[in-house]
């Protein structure tokens, strides 16, 4: 049977009120008395159920989400999941603030993290940019005892607490293995369209893709990476130029967003059937392109799971509790036209 606060009070010879003051680190307890209570806690092996205590006190967890602006469809879906979490605030005992920053702007992101720090939240979730000023801002949050979870794109050089996202090297390897199989007898090079090499998830996907292509399609030429900044118009221009400059283009791997531009460029050029195209994230646009055959495969991550995971981890860290790794693992989903899930109503 687990020891209780009543057992501590009896062992130390003090009142329940004194035990409560010591457990909650409140003033009004003499040093000698505090020592007696702490010795009783150690002797009995008492482990406090922080989550239950917070529930009993109706504790609220102020959280800040820092998300990129723009019309990146996946990021807008991520923002919608955060808004859905805000709607559940009363049940989950959270108070969520959202700060928006320009995409791929490290200075603006660092400034937003500093602003979040001044709000004194229990935790911060951020779509990270791998830049020194962002690492420093995250480390300052942690120095203040504020938990930090990176979303979608990680920041492993920082002291962040947890990453809520897929294994992006594995995602890139999966894309490379699929590309090697799908190319068949098609000759010609493979193009790679990224959003920005500033973000860790895009760099990791590129690393995995190149490694898997070297194994599944040795000798296949990979063109230099082009960056479309997840902007559909910019991606359309880049892909249109690629198909003109490389008449024998065999495949395209889009490891970022802006896939409306990729789809439009291939269809305008009439290359949607002879160029193998693999992209990320199941959106209304990519769903239609996968169904029509313009895209051959999609790799997807569950934005809702990532947001829910970030909230669970931030609350656990605020309570000093362990994180259940298996519960927080985000899976890589692979979709072909044959296994598309039912479209949401």
pLDDT 10s digits, 189-237: 999 999 999 999 999 999 999 999 999 999 999 999 999 999 999 999 9
Residue 24's pLDDT is what?
A: 67
Superfamily of domain 61-165+303-331: Response regulator (3.40.50.2300)
Predicted confidence (pLDDT) per residue in 92-113, tens digit: 889 999 999 999 999 999 999 9
Q: Give CA–CA dist 100/102, Å, rounded.
A: 7
Q: Tell how strand 333-335 and strand 190-194 pair up.
A: unpaired
Q: Where are the domains of the chain?
A: 5-48, 61-165+303-331, 168-300
63, 125 in Cβ contact below 8 A? Answer: yes
Give yes or no for a contact between 99 and 125, defined as CB atoms under 8 angstroms apart. Answer: no
Mean pLDDT across the stretch 306-318?
94
Of 104, 144, 117, the C-alpha closest to 227 is 104
Tell me the C-alpha distance between 222 and 218, whole Å: 11
Q: Do residues 151 and 133 lie in contact, with contact meaning Cβ atoms separated by under 8 Å? A: no
Which region among 23-32, 167-176, 273-282 has the lowest average model confidence (pLDDT)? 23-32
CATH 3.40.50.2300 at 168-300, yes or no: yes
For position 172, what pLDDT does the model report? 98
Q: How confident is the model at residue 45 (pLDDT cuts 50, 70, 90)?
A: confident
Return all residues near 106 (Cβ < 8 A) that are at least 6 apart.
129, 131, 133, 134, 198
User: Of 239, 227, 235, nearest to 269 (Cα)?
Assistant: 239
Tell me, yes or no, if the two domains 5-48 and 61-165+303-331 fold the same way. no
Token representation of residue 208:
């995995």
Quick one: CATH architecture of 5-48? Answer: Orthogonal Bundle (1.10)
């Amino acid at each position: 049977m687990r020891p209780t606060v009543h057992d501590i009070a009896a062992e130390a010879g003090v009142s329940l009120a004194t035990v409560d003051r010591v457990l909650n680190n409140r003033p009004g307890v003499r040093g000698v008395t505090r020592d007696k209570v702490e010795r009783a806690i150690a002797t009995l092996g008492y482990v406090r159920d922080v989550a239950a205590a917070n529930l009993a006190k109706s504790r609220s967890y102020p959280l800040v989400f820092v998300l990129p602006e723009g019309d990146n469809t996946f990021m807008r879906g991520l923002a919608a999941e955060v808004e859905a979490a805000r709607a559940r605030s009363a049940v989950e005992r959270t108070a969520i603030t959202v700060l928006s920053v320009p995409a791929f702007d490290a200075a603006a992101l660092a400034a937003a993290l500093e602003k979040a720090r001044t709000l004194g939240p229990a935790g911060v979730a951020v779509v990270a940019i791998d830049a020194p000023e962002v690492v420093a801002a995250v480390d300052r949050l942690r120095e203040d005892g504020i938990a930090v979870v990176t979303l979608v794109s990680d920041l492993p050089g920082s002291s962040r607490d947890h990453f809520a996202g897929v294994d992006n090297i594995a995602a890139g390897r999966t894309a490379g293995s699929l590309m090697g199989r799908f190319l068949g007898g098609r000759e010609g090079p493979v193009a790679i369209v990224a959003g920005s090499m500033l973000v860790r998830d895009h760099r990791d996907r590129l690393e995995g893709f190149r490694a898997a292509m070297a194994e599944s399609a040795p000798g296949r030429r990979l063109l230099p990476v082009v960056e479309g900044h997840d902007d559909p118009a910019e991606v359309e221009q880049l892909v249109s130029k690629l198909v003109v400059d490389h008449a024998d283009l065999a495949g395209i791997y889009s490891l970022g967003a802006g896939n409306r531009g990729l789809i439009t460029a291939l269809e305008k050029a009439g290359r949607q059937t002879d160029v193998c195209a693999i992209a990320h994230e199941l959106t209304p646009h990519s769903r239609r392109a996968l169904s029509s055959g313009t895209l051959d495969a999609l790799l997807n991550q569950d934005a809702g799971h990532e947001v829910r995971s970030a909230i669970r981890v931030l609350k656990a860290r605020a309570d000093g509790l362990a994180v259940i790794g298996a519960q927080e693992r985000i899976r890589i989903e692979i979709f072909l036209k044959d296994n598309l899930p039912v479209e949401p109503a």
